[in-house]
Every structure is written in structure tokens, then in C-alpha cells.
A and B are shown apart, each in its own frame.
Chain A
Amino acid sequence: MADTQSSFARSDAYLSALIREVRSVPTASATVTMGRRTFFKLAGAGAAGLVLGFHLGGAAFAADGANVDTVDSKDQAMNAFIRIAPDNTITIYSKCPEIGQGIKTSFGVIIADELDADWNHVVMEQADINPKVYGSQGAGGSTSIPHAWDQLRQAGAGAKVMLIAAAAGQWAVDSSQITARDSILTHAASGRSATYGSLAAAAAKMPVPDPRDLKLKTRTEYRLIGKRYRGVDDPKVVSGQQLFGIDVQLPGMVYATYTKCPAAGGKVKSFNVDEIKAQRGVLDAFAVDGTGMMVEVMPGVAIIARDTWSAFQAKNKLQVDWDLSKASTDSTSQFSVQASKLATSFPQKADDKVGDVDKSFANAAKTVEAYYEYPFAAHVPLEPMNTTAYWHDGVMEMWVPTQQPDRGLPLIGKVAGIAPEKVVMHQTRVGGGFGRRLVNDYACEAAAIAQKVNAPVKLQWTREDDFAHDFYRPAGYHQFKGAIDKNGRLDAWREHFITFTADGKKEASGANLTDNLRYSIKAPNLRRAKTMLPLRIPTGAWRAPGDNAQVFAAQSFMHELSLASGRDHVEFLIDAVNRDVPELAPKDKSVNFSPKRATDVIRMCAEKAGWGKTLPKRSGLGLAWCYSHAGHVAQAIELSVDTNKQIKIGRIVVVLDVGPIIDMAGSEAQAQGASTDALSTAMGLKINIENGRIQEQNYNAYPILRMPFAPMTIDAYFIQSDNPPTGMGEPAFPALAPALGNSIFAATGERVRRLPLRDLGYALAV
């Protein structure tokens, strides 16, 4: 495998074999007749054509502080594959999961721009999962773009250099006189030109350039970056072609359901096995012990059937006697009561301490106190959890709609009792992530089940399973006290954060106060402390983890403080974020938080929203901002509220600075989608837990916003600063909820301190 690190050109069939060789395992997909399932193969396998595989990594190429995939970059990881076929088709393999964030399109645009490829002849394919080949392959934390930015540009530029070298040799001219555009090389002086396709074979024999020697384009030279694109899979999406994990159908496949204890942590004592096995279409039923780890396999009952419907029907008949001795008895109504009691005192031990809040309170012109609360939330992406697994030849071959395939490999290996190299994972398109699919529990379950089934098996969760066994966004409770000095400036911030712990030591997953807020709230006197309530229900990353709800509390309270100051909210915010409080500046140099970028998005948002204009009675304009997932964002909402608390949303304005935009249409979609998701979540979404059981079982109890209530106008503006580009999946979520609460206050004088607004009697008007 020594030469996998050097860039080269080879056929796709060879590449498939190469990747298998790296792993030393055979795959069924390479040998069985796949019919319509060619989607899962490396496209064009066997066709004439040439592949450029690139190893571009390592700290040496970490320009401008962008994070490189450090884990595997030393390990000869190849970050990009480009195949240039004789017909001039350019196929680019996208190594990260497509979960609706548009990465498959953006990755292609970045490579194709440096390559000077003709975008109309670029085909994007999903790469299979192999960290040894590709390095990190996750999709989470809005990190795919910042991590891959340099690597992808180097891949495109490197391929172009090799093509030019090939042409220079054939034409016996100097390579500096050759220009590239739209997949054609031209030597103007001699009038010669050739397509990339015609040169690909010769290019493959050219020396591989050192990425450090590559001259990358400046922004003015971009031809593709920044334009509008439709998603590369859109033609398949609109015509219903097989794309998603749930769409996998293999010859001889059987179908499975898996039923776990409705209270997390319960174990199977026994179940009505004979009755279940006698159900129509059922092939087998058995209990699975699992590993006892929520992120792997918890105990449950598997039912195997000839089709999904038969499995679901049998599941309805399933009666399990659960051992509840270790099961959750969590109760959200009790948490709320406990938290509000705890909020009345401030803990001795502070996590953050700057200056002297008590002195500030004593000398303050004004102090303000408030208590904020938000609930647990479920992810419930529209594609229910599923995985197809096929245990054969000592290999666990899987088709998984996951956000974090690379991290799944060792867990699946552990569950199956095999080395991670014996797990062959095909990445499918993912019908929504939102953080749910950072956990590979459903893939681990499929592996455990597949080892007991002599056929490919698709594990399909019901929607009810998905509601009952999520890794929820934790609820949170914030008691604030703030001080305004005699000049109307923010002088003190005291915050008691009541959150949750799973292990009794640290915050549960997703339940820590985010560093983003630590940088953003720059009070010269500051004190933060937390109290942790024990929790058994699993929690996790939910779109813009922490920020997604904590920013609601913090930026709503900032509005309260601005009102107390008597100053304009926008001026108050800009003054506060520009305070020089060295203790609150990020210690980590790779953190790109910038008061200037924050100021710019706030100012532009105010301007675009018509800040300061006169509005009719019961109408209001509210604004909030956040620093989240490396993006600086401000959001404003204009709305009216009638006396029955019916909210009519007028217009939403989103201003973001995430550096240069790769795909303008895709970025607007993320800004609109995240704003809509945030509105939906703030208005209506809440998970109630009683006696360890999730009360909401399906969408009828969890009112995701629908078309009649969707905003008519969400205007997104981008400040395309000269910073390296960062991700769009999360930043446009957190500031929406406080902007909503602040605009409701502007319209009505009523402060929203608890989510969802549905619980306070508010509703969106049609």
C-alpha cells in the first residue's frame, strides 16, 4: 500500500480493489449482481477511465489555522478522489455524509473550481467509509467545510498541474503558457487545445506535485465558488430514485424490528416468543442482551420477517416482561420543580469568575433578575433510523445512513466481536441528521441482529421507536442577575445554570454551557456556576448543541438588560461585545470569535430589518445575535401579535459571516431551513418524560411546523469576509428564538422566558 499516498491515476475497478486491499476484506457488493443498486458501488467501476487519488493532509498543509483532520492525516489518508474519463466526465468522490447540509455539492464545487473543470460534466459520488483511505469522515459541528477547505483545493489544483504537465510534454511547450478553463487546456501561441479527458492517461504518469508548491486561486479568480447550485442529487431526489439508507434492498434480504425497554436501561426478562414466531410473515424472534451501552446496543427483542409490514405487525403483538431495576424513572415535571427551587440560591463554587459581581451589584445603577427555562427536545429526522447489515465471510457489510460513519466502525466491530477493519460500511444519503445520527446505536443493533440471521437484514425502526430512543437535547434552566452601570453599560453577569449529569461528575452530553457563550457575553464582572441534576435518559448533540437553547436564554436576558439600560438594544449589544475583557477571550487560537465580525452582522441585520422604524400597534421588531460553530450571525423578526396571542410573522432577516460562500443557493437554504427549524422548535417542540418513559410517540404529539405556518419571507445576507470559510449547518439556528422573544416583547411588552411558546398560549397565525 506504499503508493496509495502518492497521487496517481488508475481505473475505478482498481480503486475498489485497492480500498478492499487496504482493509483486507472481500465485499459482497463487488461480486453480487446489484441491479439498481449500482449506487452503492464506486461509480463507473470497470469503465475505461482514470482515477486521481490524493493524499493531502498533515500539519504541513494546515494553512491559516484551519483545522486539519489530524487524527488520520499522518496515516497516509487520501482526502479526495477525482476520476477523469476519456469522455471528459469528471467524477469526484465526496468523503463526508450528505445529510441535507449540501456537502456533496459544496465539496465538488471547491475541487472543480481549482481544477478549472466544466461543472456541467462533473459527477459527484459518495465515497465509501474507510478512515485509512480518507481520514475523518463525519458530518457534525458544521466542520466539514473548514476541515476540508485546503485539502480539496489542493486536490483540484494538483490534478490540474498534472494535466498541464502532460499537455506541456505532448506539445513540447512550457507549462506556464498553458491555460485551463472548463476542462480544456489551451496553448494560445500555437492555437492548440485538448480536453482533460484526452490527457488524463498521460497526466497519470506525471510527477505528483507537492501540495505546498501548489499555487491556489485568490478569491477574484474563482469561477465556480460563490455561485448558485442545485444539489447534485436533486434529479434523483425529485424522481424517487434509490438514495437513502431506508431504500436499500438486497437479494434475499429479510426485515427486522428491534424493541427496547420504553424506560431507558430496562432489560428483557422474557417475551411471548411462541406467539410472535407464529405471526404471519415472521421468520424468527429472539432476545438480544446487547452491550449495556446506550450508544451501542441496549437489551431488546428482535423480530425478523419477510417484509417490514409483517415485522411491524408482529411488534404490535409483542409482550415483553422487562426488568426495570436499572431503568430510568426520570420525570421532566419533577426536574422543573427541582430546578426552580435550586435557582433561589447561588452555588459556592463558580466555573467562571471575572471581577467582582457583588461589588458591581452594590454600585449598580440598575440590576435585573430573571429565570429562563427550555425543555428536552427530540431530533426526529424524517427518515427513521435504519441500517442494512449482511454478515458474510467474517465481514460485517453495512449500508448506513449515519453522520459519523468513521466513529461507528470500532463500535460495530466491538458489538460483532471482529476487528474494525472487518466492518465494511457503505455510506448512504441521510434523510436528516440534526445530530441524531452522530450516534450509531441503530447500526450497532443491526450488526448484532445480522450475526443471528443468515441473510442480509434491514433493521427498520418505527417512528415510535425513534421518539422513544433518541439522544435528546437536554432541558436547561438559567437564573440570571445582571447589572447596568451609571453609563448604561453592562457591568455584571451572574448565571446559575441548572443542568444534568449522567455520571455524577460532568455534564451529560450536550448539557454543558457552551464556550461560544463564554466568548460572547463580555461582562467586566462575571460569575457562572452550575448545579447538575442526575439523569438516566440519554442526551446528545442536537443541531447547534448547547447554543440552540442557551442562546435563547442569554440573548433574551441581554435584551432585558438593554431595556434596563435605557439604551437602544443594538447599540447596547455592540458596546457589550466590544468590551475588552481579556479573561473572556478564547484561549484556543483556532477559535475565530471576533467582536468586529459580531458587530458587522448585528449592524447589517439592524439595517436590513429597518431597525428603528415606526410600527403599528401590537407589531414589533426584535433582534438577537450569536457566535455559533465558527459563524457570526444576527437575526431579526418583524411580527404582530393579536390579543389572543396569535403571532403573525412578517419577515425574518438573517445576516451571517461564515467567510466566503461556496454555494449561494445551498447557503441560503441552510439559513432559511435553520431559521424555520428554530421557529418550529421555539413555538412547539417539547419532550415530556414521566417515569422514564417518553410521552410523545409520534409527530401528532410533536408539532413540527407545517406549510401554513411557515414564514413567507426569510431574507439571508452574507458578509463574505476574507476569513476561511466555515460551515452553514448550524449557525443560523440559535439566535432565532431570542429574536422571536424580543420581538414579541417589542409588540406586547410580555417577556418570553420559557419554551416552547405553545405552553405560554402563543400560536402562529395562518
Chain B
Amino acid sequence: MLTLTINGLSHDVDVPEDMPLLWVLRDHLNLVGTKYGCGIAQCGVCTVHVGGKPVRSCQLTIGDVGTRAVVTIEGIGSTPNGAKVQQAWMEAAVPQCGYCQAGQIMSATALLDSNPQPDDSDIDAAMAGNICRCGTYIRIRRAIKNAAAKSA
């Protein structure tokens, strides 16, 4: 039995330690906002925050999470930057199919947490790991800038 702290709540899970966090969240904790897209750290749809840093949850075993706090898309709205980013996303009507957007929002929020006023190259670097198959990048960039403007 392992204990995880997710979105401020502690959860006991009875799964092997080598199971990636992604599948523990989805299949054992019913936190399905974090998505599966590639399983090999290529697409970014599984992005969550662990100890305040963005990580690909398909690559991180729960054994390696340890006592670090996990924040998922379901909880990010409770953080100041997360709420701003979600708001900016809706105002810019970013989503198309929407499947990538949880991961995009987690990456964008982590960017603003570490760099409140990112320029275009900062945005490129922070968001390069998140594929959007629908091609919403233009509005993602605008939404990040709008969210940053509100942070100032």
C-alpha cells in the first residue's frame, strides 16, 4: 500500500510500485483528466506537477513519486496561476477537440510558476513537449501571454 498526495488529498493505493503515475491516476483513482497519448514522453498529454515541476506521468512510477505532492488538471484551478491559465484558455477559445489541453494547461501553468513574464522563446521551450494534433498553438500562445499579463 502506497500513499500519494494528490491535489492536497492523500490517497492509499494498492498497486505495484512500477506502475506509472498516469495509470494510477486514471484507473485506480478515477482522475481521468490526465490523458494517455503515446506512453513514451513524446506528446505531453499526461503532464502533471510533481513537487511543483511539470513531469510526464507516463514515465514516472508511483514508487518514484515518494512523498512529493502531485497536482493534476483536476486540482490546478486551485492554484493562482492555474486558475488564470484556465480562464485565459476559455477567453481565447483555445480548445478544438480538447484532448491535449489538460497537458497544455499543466505545462503553461508550470511555465508561469517559474517565469511570470515569458517571451516567445520561453513559451516555445516550455511547450515544445506538448503536441496538439488539432493545431491550436496560435491560441495557446495568445492565452499564455494573456494569463501572464494578468499575473503582472
Q: Do A and B come from one complex?
A: yes
- In the complex, residue of chain B having the shortest beta-carbon distance to the beta carbon of A281: B16
Given A307-B28, A677-B134: A707 in contact with B95 (beta carbons within 8 A) = no
Shortest C-beta distance, A533 to chain B (Å), equals 29
- Assess whether B95 is in contact with A238, with CB atoms less than 8 Å apart: yes
Residues facing B in A664-691 (CB within 8 A) are: 665-666, 669-670, 672-677, 680
A249-B30, A309-B19, A674-B135 in contact; A382/B42 too (CB < 8 A)?
Answer: no
Check B86 against A238 for contact (C-beta < 8 Å): yes
Contact present for A235 and B90 (CB under 8 Å): yes
Nearest B residue (CB) for A458: B27
Given A240-B34, A241-B33, A280-B16, answer yes or no on A710-B138 (Cβ-Cβ < 8 Å).
Answer: yes
Tell me whether A665 and B93 are in contact in the complex, defined as CB-CB below 8 angstroms, given that A309-B20, A707-B141 are known contacts: yes
Taken residue by residue from 86 to 98, chain B's Cβ proximity to chain A (1 for < 8 Å, 0 otherwise) reads as 1001110111111
| Residues of A close to B90: CB separation below 8 A | 230, 234-235, 238
Task: Evaluate contact between A100 and B77: CB separation under 8 angstroms.
Answer: no
Residues facing A in B95-131 (CB within 8 A) are 95-102, 105, 120-121, 123-125, 127-131
Q: Quick check: B74 and A240 within 8 Å, CB to CB?
A: yes
Most buried by B among A235, A246, A430, A706: A706
Chain A residues lying within 8 Å of B81, measured Cβ to Cβ, are none
Q: Does residue B6 face the partner (Cβ distance < 8 Å to A)? A: no
Select the residue from A233, A699, A713 with max chain B CB neighbours within 10 A.
A699
Q: Is A217 an interface residue (CB 8 A)?
A: no
Q: Is B68 an interface residue, CB under 8 A from the partner? A: no
* B2: interface (CB < 8 Å): no
State whether A382 and B37 are in contact (beta carbons under 8 Å apart), knowing that A432-B99, A673-B134, A766-B124 are contacts in the complex. Answer: yes
Closest-CB distance, A94 to chain B (whole angstroms): 15
Closest to A381 in B: B133
A243 within 8 Å of B (CB atoms)? yes
Please give the number of chain A residues whose Cβ is less than 8 angstroms from any Cβ of chain B in the complex.
Answer: 69
Q: Assess whether A309 is in contact with B97, with CB atoms less than 8 Å apart.
A: no
Chain B hits for A76, CB < 8 A: none
Q: Which of A239, A463, A680 contacts B135 (CB 8 A)?
A: A680
Interchain CB contact under 8 A, B39 and A246: no
**A699-B39 contact, Cβ under 8 Å, with A308-B23, A710-B138:** no
Q: B70 near A: Cβ within 8 Å?
A: no
* A431 at interface, CB cutoff 8 A: yes
Main secondary structure of the interface of A (DSSP, over half): loop
Q: How far is the CB of A148 from chain B (nearest CB, A)?
A: 20
Contact of A707 among B30, B45, B74, B127 (CB under 8 A): B127
Is A708 in contact with B128, judged by CB distance below 8 angstroms?
Answer: yes
A380: interface (CB < 8 Å): yes
Q: State whether A669 touches B139 (Cβ < 8 A).
A: yes
Tell me if B32 and A242 are in contact (CB < 8 A). Answer: yes
CA distance in complex: A432, B45 (Å): 13
Q: Is the CB of A233 within 8 A of B16?
A: no
Contact of B26 with A by CB under 8 A: yes
Which of A230, A382, A676 is B100 in contact with, Cβ under 8 Å? A382
Asked if residues A382 and B97 are in contact (CB atoms below 8 Å), the reply is yes
Which residues of the other chain, A, contact B102 by a CB distance below 8 angstroms?
237-238, 240
What is the CA–CA distance of A677 and B130 in the complex, to the nearest angstrom? 15
* Given contact pairs A240-B72, A242-B32, A255-B27, A234 touches B77 in the complex (Cβ within 8 A): no
Which residue among B26, B97, B133 has the maximum number of chain A CB atoms within 10 Å of its CB? B97
| Distance A255 CA – B15 CA, assembled complex (angstroms) | 15
Separation of A713 and B96 alpha carbons in the complex (Å) = 18
B38 within 8 A of A: yes
CA distance A430 to B96 in the complex (A): 10
Closest to B86 in A: A238
List A contacts of B89 (CB < 8 A): 234, 238
A430 to B134 alpha-carbon distance, docked (Å)? 12
CB-CB under 8 A from A381, the residues of chain B are 97, 99, 133
Q: Is the CB of B45 within 8 A of A382?
A: yes
Which chain A residue has the least Cβ–Cβ distance from B72? A240
Whether the pair B97, A711 counts as a contact (CB closer than 8 A) is no
Would A430 and B135 count as touching, CB distance under 8 A?
Answer: no
**B residues 15-63 in Cβ contact with A at 8 Å:** 15-16, 19-20, 23, 26-28, 30-40, 42-43, 45
Q: How far is the CB of A244 from chain B (nearest CB, A)?
A: 6
A700-B39 in contact (CB<8A): no
Shortest distance from the beta carbon of B46 to any chain A beta carbon, whole Å: 11
B148 at the interface (CB under 8 A from A): no
Q: List the A side residues contacting B125 at CB < 8 Å.
A: 708
Q: Is B4 an interface residue (CB 8 A)?
A: no
Instruction: Answer yes or no: A429 CB below 8 A from chain B CBs.
Output: yes
Contact across chains for A706 and B128 when beta carbons are under 8 A apart:
yes
Closest to A460 in B: B36
Q: Determine if A247 is an interface residue (Cβ-Cβ < 8 Å).
A: yes
- B33 to A, closest residue via Cβ: A240
Q: Which of A235, A672, A711 has the most CB of B within 10 A?
A: A672
Across the interface, do A237 and B95 meet the contact criterion of CB distance under 8 Å? yes
B121 cross-chain contacts in A, Cβ below 8 A: 766
- Residue in A closest to B16 when the chains form the complex, CB atoms: A280
| Residue B136 lies at the interface, judged by CB distance under 8 Å to chain A | yes
Question: Which chain A residues border B37 with CB–CB below 8 Å?
Answer: 382-384, 463, 699
Q: A676-B138, A707-B130, A707-B140 are in contact. Are A382 and B96 (CB under 8 A)?
A: no
Interface contact B138-A672, CB-CB below 8 Å: yes
Residue of B whose beta carbon sits closest to that of A306: B27
- A230-B91, A382-B100, A669-B93 as given contacts; A238 in contact with B38, CB under 8 Å: no
Across the interface, name the chain A residue whose C-beta is closest to B143: A238
Q: Does A714 contact B (CB under 8 A)?
A: yes
Q: How far is the CA of A229 from the CA of B92 in the complex (A)?
A: 10
- A36–B30 contact, CB under 8 A? yes
Q: List 16 A-B contacts (CB under 8 A).
A: A230-B91, A234-B94, A239-B86, A280-B16, A307-B15, A312-B39, A382-B100, A382-B133, A382-B134, A666-B93, A672-B139, A673-B134, A674-B135, A698-B40, A707-B127, A710-B137
| Interface residues in chain B, defined as those with a beta carbon under 8 Å from any beta carbon in chain A | 15-16, 19-20, 23, 26-28, 30-40, 42-43, 45, 72-74, 77, 86, 89-91, 93-102, 105, 120-121, 123-125, 127-141
What 7 A-B pairs come out closest when comparing CB atoms?
A240-B33, A676-B135, A100-B97, A431-B99, A240-B73, A710-B137, A237-B98
- Chain A: residues with CB nearer than 8 A to chain B? 36, 99-102, 228-231, 233-235, 237-244, 246-247, 249, 255, 280-281, 307-309, 312, 380-384, 429-434, 460, 462-463, 665-666, 669-670, 672-677, 680, 698-700, 704-708, 710-714, 766
Please name 10 further chain A to chain B contacts, defined as beta carbons within 8 Å, in addition to the given A100-B95, A698-B42, A712-B138, sorted by A numbering: A234-B89, A234-B94, A234-B98, A240-B34, A431-B99, A669-B139, A676-B137, A699-B131, A707-B137, A711-B138
